[in-house]
A and B are shown apart, each in its own frame.
Chain A
């Protein structure tokens, strides 16, 4: 099996299937917008068309009613939650987006790229974000940082590629859900990004013009880039 295919299969097991199983519980904990993303979206021109690729439970889709936001996610359970909240959304894969090129004013990818298990797939996902953006348009990507520390001030993760457990609360257990993991603990795969790493991946994308802004917020790295004219 090729490396890319193995990567996709690995992510199916340790990312997509996990989100499908934990969606209602996950969604219940994900209501607060990250301040940087909220500020960014509230400052885009009225009626901009925005793609939220990997939109999760859709917490950003309604944050600025003056925008036309379209969400997509590989997890059908999360997309069902978005639809029930009245948002425009679809099921799709962030390494192969179903949009025509050069069509969105702004594209955001929040807490998505850290779920890809190979460098090639991370770059592929960034290339897709840039492909669907209009020339001169902006892309914002947000990923977990390796540099995060725990309450004692010690480095939380010893390695960059880790499983982060999700403890599913009993009341969120679906009745017909088979093969639940022991103790209802699900392992989600993450690649923790080091400072500068996301910028370096963007630099491998031919359609990127420049890095507009980089920030560190609440244990995450944020990079905003613009697309070539």
Chain B
């Protein structure tokens, strides 16, 4: 069957349904027909943002959360690991962005919707700790549905533990930039995602606390399509900038040049 295109060569746009060849999606994974931004894997994001060959993973914490409590959780986790090739829903390391060295974390929504569990939380703490130790700014690209239900309160309290790590980083005079991507929701938005010095977002990213259906239930209203969009948040004063994907690296580099130098 050598004449058949390899799987994934043609991709339908989740927004407009048009099929496009992978070369048409490249390099930014934006739909040529409607401008829809594909959700990137951590690897794709790294390739787009950091200087080639500069990414050095942080020391592996080699931790896993006990999965005995919740039925089917261990299997779900294993599936996510196989599917993404990642150990958890975040990748952390040191890298250069247009020669500006920083510590960087990238969440991956393809791994159980980027949900915040104990390992993800502790890796975010590590990001801030290493940022302090090495006196480097922290860049965090968020993508998450919120706290991971299967780990219960231990996942929820990562909200306060990551914020404590952020406070310690701030007390050392650290500089941090968050890039909010689609989707950034729930316990992640209500903790570390919105507490950076500079908040950037990708166009049309959905960013909010409660999900659309929950709000429609609470208020018994139909919400407009752009509700909780990055653009809406910008007009309400919740973000500093909405940055197109092709300009994100340059924008980060500028901010790191201006704010990232330790005094």
**Do A and B belong to a common assembly?**
no
